């Protein structure tokens, strides 16, 4: 009898090692670009009466050595903390066997999202940052900031870190978490933006990173925008940069470029290409002629499926998680 594996936050964290995840996410980008993936558009259920929404993200991908399918069901409810002592964002991942549709696992999608988002930034950084990048700025010290540093330090020898956030307690917690491994300090947005690599992970709707603050050869991972109206980087940064996206439909709808794109300030001619095109070698990553580079990441369902694949395979090897008879096959 086959059983479904339940993997909670701790199980996901334990069984997803960042170097392997980065490789799996790169495989997912390649599969998507090569036509070996199916990823219907992210769908939304808007719940204004609860100041929240649900999002469904299904995907299938064939990476050659492995294939995988699944769907993530995730919410955004900003009032959850104050009203219900719950996280703003919660996700559940259903991971299925593509061959017979058996539900192999139910996973905590929140931890999975944090890990795969960091890994996606690492893939982009590996292709777009200067080879000798040693400093990293992070704007926003929330939960996403931790995996940004952990992932990007896998692809570049990061020594100096500047963390910027209006919440001093968050900054202190972030520094405490990493001070043993990096030369890390609090700093301004301008100081963070001067680093070799910059990750922005804020929910702002008015740009906070001005063009004049950004270093001449800084690579930026714009990770915060995930809904219409969100916008972290000044338009001039986007227009002056080698601009790389994860998916055209998602980035123009809810990514970093969504506001200037719909205002006509930025057009398709200003987009260099998709990260998948760079991964498969159809377009160049960083060249000697490049100055600022920007990766506009909205987060793709193929990333969740790839991350679930890594988590599940290692959980089976390590005998982690809780196996249960979801379909009631023992009664048949």
For the segment 134-158, what is each residue's pLDDT rounded down to a tens digit? 999 999 999 999 999 999 999 999 9
- Which are the contacts of 239, defined by CB distance < 8 A and separation ≥ 6? 265, 266, 270
Contact 152, 118 (CB under 8 A): yes
Cα torsion angle, 189, 192, 197, 201, sign: negative
Per-residue pLDDT tens for 179-234?
999 999 999 999 999 999 999 999 999 999 999 999 999 999 999 988 889 999 99
- Residue 276 among known ligand-binding residues: no
CA separation, residue 289 to residues 130, 178, 216 (Å)? 11, 34, 11
- Tracing tokens 């990061």 back to the chain, one arrives at 158
- Residue 303 among known ligand-binding residues: no
Q: How many residues does the chain have?
A: 332
- Residue 143 among known ligand-binding residues: yes
What's the whole-number mean pLDDT along residues 83-99?
96
CA distance 228 to 276: 23
Per-residue pLDDT tens for 273-307?
999 999 999 999 999 999 999 999 999 999 999 99
CA distance 215 to 72: 37
Collapsing DSSP states into helix, strand and coil, what is residue 179? Answer: coil
Q: Does residue 72 carry a catalytic annotation? A: yes
Nearest to 90 by CA among 103, 72, 106, 115: 72
pTM reported for the whole predicted model = 0.95
CA distance 271 to 241: 9
Please tell me which residue in 9, 42, 72, 242 is annotated as part of the active site: 72
DSSP H or E run through 244: strand 242-245
């Amino acid at each position: 009898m086959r059983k479904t594996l339940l993997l909670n936050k701790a199980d996901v964290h334990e069984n997803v090692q960042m170097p392997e995840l980065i490789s799996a996410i790169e495989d997912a980008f390649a599969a998507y670009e090569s036509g070996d993936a199916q990823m219907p558009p992210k769908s939304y259920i808007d719940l204004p009466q609860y100041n929240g929404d649900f999002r469904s993200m299904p995907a299938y991908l064939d990476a050659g050595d492995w294939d995988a399918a699944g769907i993530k069901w995730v919410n955004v409810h900003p009032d959850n903390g104050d009203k219900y002592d719950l996280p703003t964002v919660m996700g559940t991942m259903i991971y299925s066997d593509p061959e017979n549709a058996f539900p192999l696992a139910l996973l905590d999608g929140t931890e999975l999202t944090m890990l795969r988002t960091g890994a996606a930034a690492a893939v982009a950084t590996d292709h777009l940052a200067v080879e000798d990048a040693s400093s990293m700025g992070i704007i926003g010290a929330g939960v996403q900031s931790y995996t940004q540093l952990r992932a990007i330090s896998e692809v570049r020898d990061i020594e100096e870190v500047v963390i910027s956030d209006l919440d001093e307690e968050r900054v202190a917690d972030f520094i405490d978490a990493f001070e043993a491994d990096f030369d890390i300090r609090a700093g301004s947005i301008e100081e963070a933006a001067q680093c070799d690599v910059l990750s922005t992970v804020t929910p702002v709707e008015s740009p906070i990173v001005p063009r004049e603050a950004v270093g001449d050869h800084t690579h930026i991972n714009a990770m915060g925008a995930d809904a219409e109206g969100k916008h972290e980087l000044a338009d001039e940064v986007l227009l002056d940069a080698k601009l790389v996206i994860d998916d055209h439909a998602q980035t123009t709808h809810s990514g970093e470029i969504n506001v200037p794109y719909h205002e006509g300030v930025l057009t398709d001619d200003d987009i260099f290409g998709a990260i998948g095109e760079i991964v498969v070698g159809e377009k160049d990553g960083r060249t000697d002629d490049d100055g600022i580079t920007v990766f506009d990441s909205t987060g793709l369902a193929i990333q969740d499926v790839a991350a679930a694949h890594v988590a599940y395979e290692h959980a089976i090897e390590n005998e982690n998680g809780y196996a249960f008879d979801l379909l009631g096959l023992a009664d048949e």
